[in-house]
Amino acid sequence: MPNTVLMLSKETIRTMKDYYKANLKDSTPPGAHFAAKSTTFSIAAYHSGKVLFQGKEAEKEAAKWGTEKNIVSTKKNVPKSSSPLPTGITTMSLIGTDEVGTGDYFGPITVVAAFVRQDQLELLKEYGVKDSKHLTDPIIIEIAKKLIKTIPYSLLTLPNEKYNERQAQGWTQGKIKAVLHNQAILHLLNKIEPEQPEGILIDQFAEKAIYYKHIRDQPSIVRENVFFSTKAEGIHLSVAAASIIARYAFLRAMDQLSDEAGFTLPKGAGAKVDLAAAKLIKKHGVDKLGHFVKVHFANTGKAKKLSL
């Protein structure tokens, strides 16, 4: 959230309190003289003379009371997309990438890069390709089976053993994802050679600069025409397709792991997951956990307690 902190005199703060009397909050934070709130900003004035302005119109509101010399700190709104997208990107021939499984305790991370040519966009719409968050798992499976026969793609599945190893080495999930996205793109570029996409669209999980920082030690790095956007499934069908194939692969991996466990492993990271993990520990021993789960999740501690 954008915010500005000003250092103001006691008189100014008193004038402000009167000015914002219609917006005053009943309760004030500790050490505050008053707090006010509207739909576009909130203000907290402290006895120290510091006044915090927050929200969409924080800067505008702060400008009413202070000048440059009063500013203690200021933070502007950061735009959602860190790189501007080229116009007409929606109808380009693109590689899109997305991942699944990062928030699930059980099961691997799956990352997919998918290439969708401009002349295939209509067909993919007919298949029902869209943001996978709006699709049920049975529909995703149905569409994915068609997609994998229609479009070139690269699927990477990171087994839990490998995930846990990387995590223990100090890799963040962001780094794990960035490395996998870069690899999936490289594989797919090789696969479709000599054809070249007009661009590559990554469903953004990290700012562009952070993404490249994560993969700076990789032997080969794709940089040309790479675009980042949040909610990229809604921008180009290649990302939606990648997301559907990744989800399909994740579901299949979960079926496989459930077979090995001897019972159905739940998705997500909620209370059901704790119980299933406790059952798994009792049945197969705690040493086997790393084959099925992302060990560093808080679920591990809860499951161990439950299994006692």
Which chain residues interact with Mn ion by CB under 5 A? 98, 203
Q: Which is nearer to Mn ion, 98 or 104 (CB)?
A: 98
Q: How far apart are CA 177 and CA 43, in angstroms?
A: 39
Q: How far is CA 219 from the centre of its chain?
A: 25
- Min dist CB 239 to Mn ion, Å, is 8
- Min dist CB 99 to Mn ion, Å, is 6
- Min dist CB 108 to Mn ion, Å, is 16
- Min dist CB 31 to Mn ion, Å, is 41
Q: Which is nearer to Mn ion, 23 or 102 (CB)?
A: 102
**Which are the contacts of 85, defined by CB distance < 8 A and separation ≥ 6?**
201, 227, 229, 235
Helix (H) or strand (E) holding 20: none
Q: Which is nearer to Mn ion, 59 or 98 (CB)?
A: 98
3-state secondary structure 43-79: EEEECCCEEEEECCCHHHHHHCCCCHHHEEEEECCCC
Q: How far apart are CA 60 and CA 237, in angstroms?
A: 39
Residues 233-256 as b or e (16 or more Cβ within 10 Å = b): bbbbbbbbbbbbbbbbbbbebbee
What the block records as the tokens of 11 is 């008189």
Q: Which is nearer to Mn ion, 54 or 110 (CB)?
A: 110
Q: How far apart are CA 262 and CA 28, in angstroms?
A: 55
Q: Which is nearer to Mn ion, 8 or 112 (CB)?
A: 112
- Min dist CB 202 to Mn ion, Å, is 9
Q: Which is nearer to Mn ion, 104 or 203 (CB)?
A: 203
By beta carbon distance, the residue nearest Mn ion is 203
Q: Which is nearer to Mn ion, 112 or 289 (CB)?
A: 112
- Min dist CB 27 to Mn ion, Å, is 39
Q: Which is nearer to Mn ion, 100 or 276 (CB)?
A: 100
- Min dist CB 37 to Mn ion, Å, is 34
Q: Are 114 and 129 in contact (CB under 8 A)?
A: no
What is the sign, positive or negative, of the torsion defined by CA atoms of 274, 135, 254, 261?
positive
Task: For 182-242, give the DSSP string.
Answer: HHHHHHHHHHHTT---SEEEEE-SS-HHHHHHHTTTSSS---TTEEEETTGGGT-HHHHHH
Region of residue 64 (phi > 0: left; psi between -120 and 50: alpha; otherwise: beta) = alpha
- Min dist CB 35 to Mn ion, Å, is 37
